Amino acid sequence: MIYFDNSATTKISPEVLTTYDTVSQKIWGNPSSLHNFGEEAWNLLEQARQQIAKLMGVKPSEIIFTSGGSEGDNWVIKGTALAKHRFGKHIITTSVEHAAVRNAMAQLEELGFEVTYLPVDKEGRINPADVKAALRPDTILVSIMAVNNEIGTIQPIKEVGEILKDYPNIHYMVDAVQAIGKGLDDLVFSDRVDFATFSGHKFHAPRGTGFVYAKSGRKLSPLIDGGGQERTMRSGTENTPGDVAMARAIRLVKENEAATVKNEQAIKERIYDHLKQFDHVRIFSGRNAGFAPHVLCFAIVGVRGETIVHAFEEQGIYISTTSACSSKKHAEAGTLAAMKVPENEATSAVRISLGDQNTLADADEFNQVLDQLYAGFQKIID
Amino acid sequence: MQYTEIMVRYGELSTKGHNKKSFIDRLGSNVRHALHRFEQVKVHAQQDRLHVQLNGADYDEVMKHLKDVFGIQNFSPSIKVEKSFEAVAAAAEAMVKEQVTKPVTFKIETKRADHHFPIDTFEMNNRLGGDLLEKFPDKLKVDVHHPDLTIRVEIRLNGIFLSSETIKGAGGLPVGTAGKGMMMLSGGIDSPVAAYLGMKRGVSMEMVHFFSPPYTSPQALAKAKQLTEKLAKYSGSIKFIQVPFTEIQEAVKEKVPEGYLMTVQRRMMLRLATAIMEKRHGLAIFNGESLGQVASQTMESMMAIEDVTNYPVLRPVLSFDKTEIIKIAENIDTYDLSILPYEDCCTVFTPPSPKTKPSVKKARLYEQHLDVEGLIQRSLDGIKITEIHPGEDFLNQNEDVFAELL
C-alpha cells in the first residue's frame, strides 16, 4: 500500500505508541493530584511541555495542550471574540481556511461579528495589501493559515505580520496544522504571530492531541472551563499519555525535518513533472518555494475526484479529494473555488499529501498507475 | 569566521577610584569562573579592558556565558592578525563578507597604540576604506557620522585587532564587590527577581529559605532550590540555607491573635535571618517586598517587622509594579518556576484578614506568650546548608526515566 493521504492523518509511530502505552500503564496519576504519584505525572507533563517549547523556540508557558487542530482554531477565534468583543467585532480571515476556522467564523457572524474573507490569487495566496486595506479600528483578530491543506499554498505570514506591527492590539492567529515539520517554523513563529494551532495526529502522534502556542501577555478567554488545568486556559484532566507521546512525536519530526522536506519535495517534483505531460491534467499546486513540499493537488478534468480516488485505491494507493474533512460532503473544494477554478475542474480535483515514510519508488509506482488509469479514463473524457 | 579574542569593556567600574583594582580583579575572577568549562580560554583583566583569549574555543558559546557576568558594559569579538596592511585588509574583507547581506553604510575606526607601526590612523582609515569599497562596490557606502557598520582596527604592540560588533553586557557591578547579603527566598515571583537585582549590584547572595513540613511540600523546597539554581549562573554557585520553621509556625498559630499571625511570623523569620547573617558575616538582609503589593507590605507592616533587627533590610523591588517584576522574572527565566503551584511558608497559615497596619507595640505584646529565644535556637540548630551550582536539577528527579519517554 502506498499512503499518500498524510494531510488527512498519519500513522502513529511505534516509538510514540510505546510512550503512550508506558505512560498510560505506569504514570497514570492525575497531574493535579497533590500526592507524589500525581506529582510525577505533573512533572512528566511539564517536561513534555518544555520539550515542545524548546523545539519550537518559545517559552513553556506559551504552550497549551488541546485535543487537536479544530479545538485550537475554535478556541483562539472564539476565545478572542469573548475576550475582546468590547473593543470591536471585526475579524479578518481568508477565503481558503480550513472548515474549523471557516465555521467558527460563521458562528460568530450569527452573533453579530463581521468577518472579512480575503480573496486569493490563482495560486491560492492572499495579498498582504488586502489585509491592510481590510483593517478597521474595530478589528480584533486576523486569522491566516500557514499552509493551505488543500493545495499546499504557503501564505505570506511574515508580510502580514509586518503590517500588523503597526496594530499591536489585534490578535494575529496562524493555523499551523499543515506547517509542522515542513521547515516553516521561522514563518509560523515570526515575532508578530500571537497564536498558532497544531494537531498531533498530523505528525504521527495519537488522535485527540494538539497544542496552541499562545504568546505570553495575550488575552484569550477559555472555552472549556472547569478544574482550571492548563493554567485555567483549558480545563479537563490532562491527557498525559497523549501529550507526552506528542512531545516525542515532535522531537522525532524535528530531528528528521531537513531530510523529510528534501525527500518530500523530490517526490512531489517527480510526480508533478510526470503529471504535466497529460492534456487533461490541471495542476493546482506549485512546484516552487511558495508551496509546502508535501501537498500536490491536481485534476483529471472530466473525471470526478471521487472516481479518481477509488480508482487509485483499487491499485493500493490512497489519495483523497481535496480535503478529507469535506470530501464526504461532496462539497466543491473551498480553496479551488476561491481561486476561481472553473467548477468542472474543481470537482475533478484530488490531493496527494506526502509523509516522511514515502519514497521516490512510491512516486514511480504512482506515475505508472496514473498512466494506466489515464488511458482508461480517456474513454470517458470526451 | 574564527575570532581570536573577545574584548570586554568595563561599565561603572572605570569610575571607582581607589577600589578600581579590586573591582577589576574580582571581575577577572568572575569571568574566569563563568568560562571555566572552556579549558583553552585565557582571561587577562587589565586596567582599561579585559581580554578573553579564545585559543580556538567556540566564541558563540563563550559570549553566551559572558552575557551573564555582571560588571561588563559590552564586548566585541575580535580577530588578531599579523601586523601588515594585507593581513588587515584580508580579515576586514572576510568580516564584511560574513556580516553584510544587504547594502550598508560603514566607516573604519583605527586606534594606533604602537606608534612604530608605519601606517598611521588616518592612512589606515583611508586605505582600508578604499580597499573595501573597491571589493564591495554594491554593498558598502561610506558614512562617517551614522554608519550601520563600524570596523574597528586596533594597532597594538602584539598584533592588530579587528572587530565590528559590539554586544551589550549584563551591566551592574561584579558579584562580590558589595559584600555578602542574605536573601529571604520564598519561591514566589518577587524574591528571585530581588536576588537577581541585588547580585547585579555586586552582592554575593546567600539564600535563606524557610520550610515547614508537612505544611509545606517537599516540592516547595525543591522549587526554591531550583530557583537558586537559575540564579547561580550569575555568581558560579550560591549557598542555600534551609531553615526549619514548623515549630515556630505552630507556636505562633496557637498563641497569637489572627490579625497578627503574619506580622509575628515575619518577625521570627527576620530574627532568624539576622542570626544567620551575623554568623556568616553578611552585611544586609534582602527580601522581595514591593510596597503595597499585599497586606504585609505596607510601611506600617515593615516597621513592625523590622523592629527585631538592627541591620539594613534591603528591598530591591520595593517600587516595582508587579508587571515590571514579572518582566524581569521572565528575562532571567525564573517566572515559569515561580508560578508552580506549591504551598510555601508565606501562603500556609495566611490569615483571612491580616492587619495592614500592625503596630510595633502590639506585636511585641503578643510575642510575650512565645518562647522566642528557645524557638529561634531550635530552628537555628536545624539549619542545613547546601551549595547549588548551575545546571543542577532538583524538581525533576525522574528526568532520566522521563527522557526515555520523550
- pLDDT tens across the length of chain A (382 residues): 999 999 999 999 999 999 999 999 999 999 999 888 998 999 899 999 999 999 999 999 999 999 999 999 999 999 999 999 999 999 999 999 999 999 999 999 999 999 999 999 999 999 999 999 999 999 999 999 999 999 999 999 999 999 999 999 999 999 999 999 999 988 888 889 999 999 999 999 999 999 999 999 899 999 999 999 999 999 999 999 999 999 999 999 999 999 999 999 999 999 999 999 999 999 999 999 999 999 999 999 999 999 999 999 999 999 999 755 555 554 544 899 999 999 889 999 999 999 999 999 999 999 999 999 999 998 888 6
Q: Which pLDDT score is estimated for A379? A: 85
Compute CA distances B95 → B78, B129, B243, whole Å.
10, 13, 55
CB within 8 Å: A47 and B219: no
Same domain, A50 and A197: yes
**Which segments of B are annotated as binding site for ATP?**
184-185, 209-210, 266, 288, 297
DSSP state of B208: E
Report whether A123 contacts A290 (CB < 8 A). Answer: yes
Which residues of A are the active-site residues?
325
In degrees rounded to 5, what are phi and psi of residue B243? -120, 120
Cβ-Cβ contacts under 8 Å, B398 against chain A: 40, 43-44
Report the alpha-carbon distance of residue B406 to residue B403 in Å, rounded. 5
Domains held by chain A: number: 2
Q: How many CB pairs below 8 Å do chains A and B form together?
A: 36
Report whether B189 contacts B324 (CB < 8 A). Answer: no
Same domain, A21 and A57: yes
Same domain, A270 and A367: yes
Dihedral (Cα; A127, A130, A132, A137), 10-degree rounding: -150
Q: A310 in a domain, yes or no?
A: yes
Report the alpha-carbon distance of residue B341 to residue A281 in Å, rounded. 60
Same domain, A232 and A182: yes
Q: A144 in a domain, yes or no?
A: yes
Q: Which pLDDT score is estimated for A108? A: 97
Cβ-Cβ contacts under 8 Å, A34 against chain B: 217
Reported in sequence order, the residue ranges of B90-143 that DSSP labels E, i.e. its strands, are: 104-112, 140-142
Domain boundary among A203, A235, A255: A255
List where CATH 3.30.2130.30 sits in chain B. Answer: 5-170
Q: Which pLDDT score is estimated for A183? A: 92
Q: A382 in a domain, yes or no?
A: no
Report the alpha-carbon distance of residue A66 to residue A72 in Å, rounded. 7
Report whether B378 contacts B247 (CB < 8 A). Answer: yes
Report whether B228 contacts B388 (CB < 8 A). Answer: yes
Amino acid letter at B99? Answer: Q
Report whether A337 contacts A263 (CB < 8 A). Answer: no
The b-or-e profile of A159-198 (16+ CB within 10 A means b, else e) is bbbebbeeeeebbbbbbbbbbbbbbbbebbbbebbbbbbb
CATH number, domain with residue A363? 3.90.1150.10
A216 in reach of chain B (CB within 8 A): yes
Domain that holds residue A136: 14-255
Report the alpha-carbon distance of residue B56 to residue B2 in Å, rounded. 8
Same domain, A291 and A324: yes
Considering only CB atoms, A47 lies closest to which of B330, B336, B402, namely B402
Domain boundary among A210, A225, A255: A255
Domain boundary among A255, A274, A301: A255
Whether omega for the bond prior to residue B257 falls within 30 degrees of 0, making it cis, is no
Same domain, A281 and A327: yes
Report the alpha-carbon distance of residue B229 to residue B222 in Å, rounded. 10
What ipTM score was computed for the predicted complex, to two decimals?
A: 0.76
Report the alpha-carbon distance of residue B392 to residue B399 in Å, rounded. 12
pLDDT tens per residue, chain B (406 residues)?
778 999 999 877 656 677 788 889 999 999 998 898 898 999 999 888 899 999 988 888 999 999 999 999 999 999 999 999 999 999 999 999 988 888 999 999 999 989 999 999 999 999 999 999 999 999 999 998 999 999 999 998 888 999 998 899 999 999 999 999 999 998 899 999 999 999 999 999 999 999 998 888 888 899 999 999 999 999 888 999 999 999 999 999 999 998 899 999 999 999 999 999 999 999 999 999 999 887 678 999 999 999 999 999 999 999 999 999 999 999 999 998 998 877 665 556 666 677 888 999 999 999 999 999 999 999 999 999 999 998 888 887 677 778 888 8
Q: Which pLDDT score is estimated for B343? A: 67
Same domain, A53 and A177: yes
Q: Closest approach of chain B CAs to the CA of A230, in angstroms?
A: 12
Same domain, A248 and A262: no
Q: A26 in a domain, yes or no?
A: yes
A147: left (phi over 0), alpha (psi -120 to 50) or beta: beta
Q: A49 in a domain, yes or no?
A: yes
Q: Which of A25, A47, A49 has the highest number of chain B CBs within 10 A, making it the mutation to test binding with B?
A: A47
Q: A328 in a domain, yes or no?
A: yes
> What is the spatial order of strands in the sheet that B179-184 belongs to?
B313-314, B284-286, B179-184, B203-211, B238-244, B384-388
Same domain, A201 and A97: yes
Q: Which pLDDT score is estimated for A329? A: 55
- Name beta bridge partners: A66: A210
Q: What is the DSSP string of B265-330?
A: HHHHHHHHHHHHHHHTT--EEE----TTSSGGGSHHHHHHHHTT-SS-EE-TTTT--HHHHHHHHH
Find, among B249, B271, B221, B266, the residue nearest to B349 by Cα.
B249
The whole-model pTM stands at: 0.68
| Grid-cell match 517566572, residue found | B335
CATH number of the domain at B5-170, out of 3.40.50.970, 3.30.2130.30, 3.40.50.10800, 3.40.50.1820? 3.30.2130.30
Same domain, A81 and A104: yes
CB within 8 Å: B406 and A247: yes
Same domain, A82 and A166: yes
Q: Which pLDDT score is estimated for B346? A: 56
* Superfamily of segment(s) B179-400: HUPs (3.40.50.620)
CATH number, domain with residue A135? 3.40.640.10
A247 in reach of chain B (CB within 8 A): yes
CB within 8 Å: B336 and A251: no
Report the alpha-carbon distance of residue B208 to residue B268 in Å, rounded. 13
Amino acid letter at A153? Answer: T
List where CATH 3.40.50.620 sits in chain B. Answer: 179-400
Same domain, A176 and A39: yes
Q: A241 in a domain, yes or no?
A: yes
